[in-house]
Structure 1
Amino acid sequence: MTQHSNTRPGGGTGGAFGFVRDGYDRVGAHDLNTSDLESATVYGRNDENIGSISSLQLGSDDKITHAVVDVGGFLGIGAHSVLLPFEQLNVQRETGGSTVRVNLDTTKEKLKSLPHHAA
């Protein structure tokens, strides 16, 4: 991982916001389509798989505003869904490629403690 000291505006105090994985570039909401993020794996602060994006919410300008992250469960069954502002996600795209990684500065346990989001 390549460490960077800058954080995204409004983005917390480091962790997932403080790095860009080698071979990847950070991308913002204006550079993404919903199809780029649908079913994307979400990784926690220790690079562990903590869930996946099950759906996205768009604002009136058709930009992504929120993501629903499913935590736990098996093949979507029994998952705990949480709604997160898009600014909390650190989205990176493979340099010269199309693979997308989503990182959060949190743990699976902390996400499971958030209120359940009913679709």
Structure 2
Amino acid sequence: MDHSNHPRLQPAELTEDTLNGAKVYGPDNETIGSVSHVHGAGEATEVVIDVGGFLGIGSKPVLVQARDLDIMRDEAGTVHALSRWSKDELKAMPEHRH
């Protein structure tokens, strides 16, 4: 998927309603997880990404700052994010427990 023409979300759009369920792609454009939970809103937003697994089973939740992701909408308006981390790098992060 070519993300270069997808409009980036503004800080005010970084809300739970907008981000929950968003697919997260890694540096090689592979799907590495999805946003399962959001803490905060705007500039200080943190997201929990369920990494790996299938339909949420066997996945590992990790917490990252939304500003560390490139969050955008595709041509259909679907929100998704690009991560600089690979699936293995995210899996190596501490598990998030809420």
Give the TM-score band, short-chain normalised.
0.7 to 0.9
Aligned Cα root-mean-square deviation (Å)? 1.7
Q: How far is the alpha carbon of 1:30 from its aligned partner? A: 1.2
Percent identity, aligned pairs only, is: 35
Match of 2:61 in 1: 81
1:100 aligns with 2:91: no
Match of 2:22 in 1: 40
Q: How far is the alpha carbon of 1:80 from its aligned partner? A: 0.7
From 109, 114, 118, the equivalent of 2:88 is 109
Any gaps of 5 or more consecutive residues in structure 2? none
8 A Cα contact 2:7 2:72, kept in partner: yes
Deviations 1:6-51 (A, max 9, x none): xxxxxxxxxxxxxxx1441111221343222111110001110000
Q: Quick one: distance in 1 between partners of 2:13 and 2:96?
A: 26
Match of 1:31 in 2: 13
Any gaps of 5 or more consecutive residues in structure 1? 2-20
Normalising by structure 2, report the TM-score.
0.86
Q: Quick one: distance in 2 between partners of 1:109 and 1:91?
A: 20
Question: Which stretch of the first structure deviates more once superposed, 97-106 or 67-76?
Answer: 97-106
